[in-house]
Amino acid sequence: MLRSLKVLPCVVAGLLAAASPVPAQAQQVESELVLITPVAKTLTDPALAEFAKYAKEKWNITVKTSALAAGTPVAYGRIVEWKGRPEADIFWGGESALFDKLAEQNLVAKLDLPKAVVESIPDSIGRPKPIPLKDPKGFWIGTVLEPYGLVYHPKLLQRLGVPPPKDWDDLLNPKLKGNVAQCAPTRSSSSHATYEVILQREGDAKGWEWLRRLGGNTGIFTARSRDVPSVVAKGEFAAGFAVPSYMAFEDRLAGFDIKFVAPATAWITPEPIAILAGSKHPKAARAFIEFMLSERGQRVAMERGVFPITPKYRVQGAAGSTAEMAVEFTGGLRSYFDREVTNIYDDDVAQKRYEAVNAQFRKDIESVWDELKKKY
């Protein structure tokens, strides 16, 4: 019913458009755009709002935008369940391996972006294991760079007599017992990736021992990764593990006293983006992706605590601007292309044993959590 009602204004608009002279630009976009995304609305909302403005200026079209918020696994699952008849146009965010899986199932379409746009983004970043920033086959492309690091509540740490953490190991401080928040790797892709960082850093045996000790220090396993900075910002817990930088920055913007640090081995995600096969608004979808990779789109993202995907731009703004606040929040970094990036996380290894790691987590940590708390 609502659908047919929706059609009416479109028809009316179509008639009006036919009556008025057609704008000169060849490339028109549809008047609607729907994202399905694990990226929090604090980043998607401003990006969509700015895109709508851009579309109005460029084509004089009012694009109705919306974002269907869903965690990475949920978003992936829904796309699979839609079986090529998607309720959204764009999948944005998560691990690039999932995008490869979708491409294998023909559930995402080729991007066909202008060559200059694609080439402005390097193939990969980091050593010894390079992180791919775009798909050589052209099904997905990175949008921003975003580290998964640690958060802490300075005032609470001071009360506990704990110095601000710098590296993963600082979370094992016995004084933090019961004060660490994390999300289970079975529930969160950022947590899963960071579990892999720990395992690949010093080998499985030592890695699991380390993770068990972290379990012993953990006061809460949150339901989603986004809850980790929330509970730390509020002061419910003192430190959090495996947090995407911009999520923590949102709490900072909301007025909370929370700090973020990315250890040297922290994994960096390019937040891939792709157009869903069978999308109802493919032109608007492509225009949005091009917009996100333009300077204007990158600036919107940089205001929210993530880093540019190309060496062309750096996080910068007037003194006291949100961009400068973000620079301070993430430890003074303006671009990941300014420095050597260490990456030890191998996504192929991780994807091959994805379920095995989850199963071992359930067996060795989740189901014996009470014993771990007593043991360590």
Partner 1 sequence: MKLSRPSPAAVGFGLIWAFLIVFVVFPLVRIFYDAFTNEAGQLTLVNFQEFFTDSFYLRSFWKSMVLGVAAVFTTSVIGIAVAFLLIRYDFPGRGLFSYLTMLPLILPPLVGVLGFVFILGRAGTVNVLLMDWFGMEKPINFMYGTHGVLLVETVHLFPMMTLSVLDALSKVDPTLEEAAQGMGAKSWRRFWDITLPLTTPGYISGALLVFIWTFADFITPLVLGVQDLLAPQAYLNIMQFVDRRIFRMGIVISALLVVLAILFVLAARQYVALKDYSSLSYTRVQRRQLGPVMRWLAVGFLSVLLFISFAPQVGVLLAAVGRGWSLTPFPVVYTLEFFRQVSIETPRFIINSFLFSGIAVFLCLAVGVPMAWILGRTQAPGRNTMDALTTLILAIPGTAIGIAYIRAFNFPLPLIDLPLTSMWVILPLVLAVRRLPYTVRGSHSSLLLVHRSMEEAAENVGATKMRTFWDITVPLVWRGILVGALFSFLTSIQEASATIFLTLGGWEMMPFGIFTFYIAGSQSQAAALGVILIAMCALSLYVVNRIAGTRVGGLFG
For binding to partner 1 (CB under 8 A), which residues are involved? 1-3, 34, 36, 40-42, 66-69, 71, 73-74, 76-78, 80-81, 85, 87-88, 98, 153, 155-156, 184, 186-187, 219-224, 226-227, 229-230, 233-237, 247, 250-251, 254-257, 354-355, 358, 362, 366-367
* Chain center to CA of 83: 24
Residues with Cβ within 8 Å of 92's Cβ and at least 6 positions away in sequence, in order, are 35, 36, 37, 39, 44, 143, 271, 272, 273, 274
Q: How far is the CB of 374 from partner 1 (least distance, A)?
A: 15
Smaller CB separation from partner 1, 66 or 316: 66
Q: Taking the C-alpha atoms of 293, 294, 295 and 297 in order, what is their torsion angle to the nearest 10 degrees?
A: -70
What is the per-residue DSSP string for 219-284? EEEESSTTHHHHHHHHTSSSEEEEEEHHHHHHHHHTT---EEE--TT--EE--EEEEETT-S-HHH
**Residue 145 near residue 336 (C-beta atoms within 8 A):** yes
Smaller CB separation from partner 1, 155 or 375: 155
Smaller CB separation from partner 1, 230 or 322: 230
CA angle 279, 135, 202 (to 5 degrees): 125
Which amino acid, one-letter code, is at 72? T
**How many helices (H) and strands (E) would you count in the chain?**
16, 17
Q: How far is the CB of 99 from partner 1 (least distance, A)?
A: 13
Q: How far is the CB of 22 from partner 1 (least distance, A)?
A: 29
Smaller CB separation from partner 1, 316 or 367: 367
Measured CA to CA, the distance from residue 161 to residue 155 in angstroms comes to 10
Smaller CB separation from partner 1, 85 or 206: 85
φ, ψ of residue 293 to 5 degrees: the values are -90, -5
Residues with Cβ within 8 Å of 298's Cβ and at least 6 positions away in sequence, in order, are 144, 292, 308, 309, 310, 313
Measured CA to CA, the distance from residue 334 to residue 124 in angstroms comes to 18
Q: How far is the CB of 62 from partner 1 (least distance, A)?
A: 16
Smaller CB separation from partner 1, 57 or 370: 370
Q: How far is the CB of 364 from partner 1 (least distance, A)?
A: 12
- Written as six digits, the tokens of 88 are 């959204």
Which amino acid, one-letter code, is at 146? E
Q: How far is the CB of 18 from partner 1 (least distance, A)?
A: 27
Q: How far is the CB of 206 from partner 1 (least distance, A)?
A: 25
Measured CA to CA, the distance from residue 284 to residue 65 in angstroms comes to 10
Smaller CB separation from partner 1, 118 or 253: 253
Q: Provide the greatest CA pair distance for the chain.
A: 77
Q: State the residue for tokens 């190309």.
A: 310
Smaller CB separation from partner 1, 227 or 347: 227
Q: How far is the CB of 248 from partner 1 (least distance, A)?
A: 9
Q: How far is the CB of 42 from partner 1 (least distance, A)?
A: 6
Smaller CB separation from partner 1, 74 or 117: 74
Smaller CB separation from partner 1, 208 or 336: 208
φ, ψ of residue 126 to 5 degrees: the values are 100, 150
Q: How far is the CB of 167 from partner 1 (least distance, A)?
A: 25
